[in-house]
């Protein structure tokens, strides 16, 4: 199994394989690799002759194999892009036989989304011998900052730490959506620096009233600011769902508890907490205001608020009331 950057690097250097098995839960990397292969190997003038798109729902193994056996007419390679390959019949005998002696001038891109391909399958083992296998995994939240910095760099952009946090909070872990928004921000950023103001104006999140600022308010025990943000959320629950707010506050206290546990130990604290070193000072300051006992109590309070929000505990309270009670309990 090969990592994403190695696959891209090999293609750039002209090392082309006859079969790419791209599977996994993260569609972004699958699309990126398949699009890159297509751009690199298929001439614009040869697209009508040397590039075929097949869909798993409407195609079969025989069609894939027969198309792959054709020689290219204009381009160096005959490229077959199989989308929605997860819908093909699961007996891959014809593809396995084809891989015993694949056409050297053909490249099959097998896009199997929404799940990882079964490693016990004979096709998987066959591709390992003569092609490339890639498992596209979802990024964890602590990996998003680095990925976002790299993507911004590809577009000759930089962003302030707060801007990055705002983007992650508003767009979540949807890499495809994040990539599109970066392209949009590139148009509106005149000095190549993405500021919170630019994010607010062009992505739609408030730079002053968001979960990132709520955590800052809680971490500095600024109750007035925290309540202002809660009131703002209650007037726009669609864009500020309570589930996201509770999850964000929970993660903060979980990491703060972990910070306390790192005290006096020789560990890379930002790496352990999954945060940017830029925000380490915030946790250091918050640790003086919330000791380990306070953090444990906060996590209990958040859990109760979560149960209330789901109607499991108590009456069906409004989001505003639940969050106000939470802030009062935390302070």
DSSP string of 29-48?
HHHHHHHHHHHHH--GGGHH
Enter the pTM of the model.
0.71
Kindly report the number of other CB atoms within 10 A of residue 318's CB atom.
12
Widest Cα–Cα separation across the chain: 72
**156: Cα separation from own chain's centroid:** 21
Integer angstrom CA distances of residue 91 from 62, 97, 100, 201: 12, 12, 16, 51
Picking from 32, 16, 35, the residue whose alpha carbon sits closest to that of residue 132 is 16
Q: What string of pLDDT tens digits covers the 331 residues of the chain? A: 678 889 999 999 999 999 999 999 999 999 999 999 999 998 888 788 899 999 999 899 999 999 999 999 988 999 999 999 999 888 899 999 999 999 999 999 999 998 999 999 999 999 999 999 999 998 887 788 888 888 898 888 888 888 888 888 777 788 988 888 888 888 777 778 888 888 877 877 777 788 888 998 999 999 999 998 998 888 888 888 888 889 999 999 999 998 898 877 767 888 888 877 778 888 889 999 999 999 999 999 999 888 888 776 555 457 788 888 888 888 8
**Beta-bridge partners for 194:** 159
Give pLDDT, residue 171. Answer: 78
Take residue 311 and report the two structure tokens written for it. 């109607």
Please answer whether residues 56 and 88 qualify as being in contact, where contact means their C-beta atoms are separated by less than 8 angstroms. yes
3 state SS for 196-263: HHHHHHHHCCCCCCCHHHHHHHHHCCCHHHHHHHHHHHHCCCCCCCHHHHHHHHHHHHHHHHHHHHHC
Residue 240 has a pLDDT of 84
Q: What is the dihedral of CA 66, 69, 70, 72, to 10 degrees?
A: 140
Query: What residues contact residue 56 under an 8 Å CB cut-off, 6+ apart?
Result: 82, 83, 84, 85, 86, 87, 88
Place of tokens 């546990």: 261
3-state secondary structure 309-329: HCCCCCCCCCHHHHHHHHHHH
Q: Are 85 and 110 in contact (CB under 8 A)?
A: yes
Structure tokens at 216: 């800052």
Instruction: Show the tokens assigned to 26.
Output: 């993260």
CA distance linking residue 283 with residue 296, whole number of Å: 16
Intra-chain end-to-end CA distance of the chain, in Å: 50
Helix (H) or strand (E) holding 80: strand 78-83
Q: Which domains does the chain have, with CATH numbers?
A: 4-136 (3.40.50.300), 141-203 (1.10.8.60), 211-330 (1.20.272.10)
d(CA 139, CA 142): 8
As a whole number of angstroms, the distance between CA 131 and CA 124 comes to: 10
What pLDDT is recorded for position 184? 81
């Amino acid at each position: 199994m090969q990592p994403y950057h190695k696959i891209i690097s090999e293609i750039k250097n002209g090392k082309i394989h006859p079969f790419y098995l791209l599977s996994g839960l993260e569609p972004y990397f699958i699309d990126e690799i398949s699009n890159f292969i297509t751009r690199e190997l298929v001439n614009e003038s040869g697209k009508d002759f040397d590039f075929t798109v097949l869909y798993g729902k409407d195609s079969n193994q025989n069609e894939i194999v027969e198309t792959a056996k054709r020689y290219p007419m204009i381009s160096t390679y005959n490229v077959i892009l199989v989308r929605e390959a997860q819908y093909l019949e699961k007996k891959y005998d014809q593809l396995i036989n084809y891989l015993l002696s694949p056409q050297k001038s053909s490249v099959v891109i097998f896009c199997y989304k929404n799940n990882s391909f079964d490693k016990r399958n004979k096709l998987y083992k066959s591709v390992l011998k003569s092609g490339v296998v890639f498992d596209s995994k979802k990024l964890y939240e602590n990996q998003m900052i680095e990925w976002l910095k790299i993507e911004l760099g590809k577009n000759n952009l930089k962003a302030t730490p707060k801007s990055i946090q705002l983007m992650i909070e508003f767009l979540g872990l949807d890499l495809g959506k994040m990539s599109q928004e970066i392209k949009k921000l590139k148009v509106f950023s005149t000095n190549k620096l993405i500021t919170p103001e630019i994010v607010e104006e062009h992505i739609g999140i408030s730079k002053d009233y968001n979960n990132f600022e709520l955590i800052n308010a809680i971490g500095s025990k600024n109750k007035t600011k925290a309540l202002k943000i809660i009131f703002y959320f209650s007037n726009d629950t669609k864009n500020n769902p309570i589930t996201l707010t509770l999850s964000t506050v929970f993660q903060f206290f979980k990491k703060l508890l972990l910070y306390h546990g790192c005290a006096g130990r020789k560990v890379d604290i930002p790496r352990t907490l999954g945060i940017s070193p830029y925000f380490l000072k915030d946790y250091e300051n918050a640790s003086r205001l919330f000791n380990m006992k306070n953090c444990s109590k906060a996590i209990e309070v958040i859990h109760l608020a979560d149960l209330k929000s789901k109607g499991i505990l108590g009456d069906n309270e409004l989001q505003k009331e639940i969050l106000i009670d939470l802030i009062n309990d935390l302070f």
